[in-house]
């Protein structure tokens, strides 16, 4: 009976990510959104903690330049959403940034969001006060909640692909940035 209680308590503290990967000096956490085997498998970047209130409690927060990859291959995906057919050669496309994914990670100074990301969740970068600039590689602005960059200086440069200024200037969330520059 005591063993069952301990097991239930441990399960309630489980992290809600499927695998972690060290990328550019930072460890990022991923949640598998579709397993599609070797083709069509997707993930979203998420936080490692058990809840958004404790998103990074007990984990090393990312710092410096945070470059989210377009694709990622886990060393091993053993989380509850991992497909037993997938192995460490499965290539996952990163399609979204989960709500609260980097909330409170105040040591991030530069941010690069790849072209494969189509959605940025609520408060995804809230409180990342040291971000100096953001590069978004997507030709279409990712859907974004207006709270995604709460408590971030929106006067910092937002760099977007050539020919996309008007799209970003009118897109929900992105239009809050005052300095949108094409590259």
Domain range list for the chain: 15-182
pLDDT tens-digit readout, 136-165? 999 999 999 999 999 999 999 999 999 999
pLDDT at position 96: 98
Phi, psi of 86, rounded to the nearest 5 degrees? -75, 150
Instruction: Report the C-alpha gap between 170 and 180 in whole angstroms.
Output: 11
pLDDT at position 78: 57
Instruction: Report the C-alpha gap between 127 and 62 in whole angstroms.
Output: 13
Stretch 158-177: mean pLDDT:
98
**Which residues, other chains included, contact 157 with Cβ-Cβ below 8 Å and sequence gap of 6+?**
133, 134, 179, 181
* pTM of the full structure: 0.87
Judge whether 96 and 33 are in contact, CB under 8 Å.
Answer: yes
CATH classification for the domain delimited by 15-182, as one of 3.40.50.720, 3.30.450.20, 3.80.10.10, 3.90.1170.50: 3.80.10.10
Judged by average pLDDT, the poorest of 4-8, 90-94, 166-170, 175-179 is 4-8
| Distances in whole angstroms, Cα of residue 56 to Cα of each of 27, 53, 60, 76, 171 | 11, 9, 7, 21, 29
């Amino acid at each position: 009976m005591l063993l069952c209680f301990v097991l239930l308590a441990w399960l309630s503290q489980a992290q809600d990510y499927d695998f972690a990967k060290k990328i550019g000096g930072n460890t990022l956490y991923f949640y598998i959104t579709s397993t599609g085997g070797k083709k069509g498998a997707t993930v979203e970047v998420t936080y490692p903690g058990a809840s958004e209130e404790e998103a990074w409690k007990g984990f090393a927060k990312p710092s410096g330049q945070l470059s989210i990859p377009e694709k990622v291959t886990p060393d091993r995906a053993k989380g509850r959403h991992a497909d037993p057919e997938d192995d460490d050669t499965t290539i996952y496309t990163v399609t979204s940034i989960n709500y609260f994914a980097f909330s409170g990670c105040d040591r991030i100074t530069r941010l690069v969001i790849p072209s494969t990301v189509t959605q940025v969740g609520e408060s995804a970068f809230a409180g990342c006060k040291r971000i100096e600039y953001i590069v978004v590689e997507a030709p279409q602005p990712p859907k974004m909640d207006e709270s995604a960059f709460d408590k971030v200086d929106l006067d910092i440069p937002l760099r977007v692909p050539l020919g996309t200024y008007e799209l970003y200037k009118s897109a929900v969330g992105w239009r809050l940035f005052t300095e949108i520059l094409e590259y």
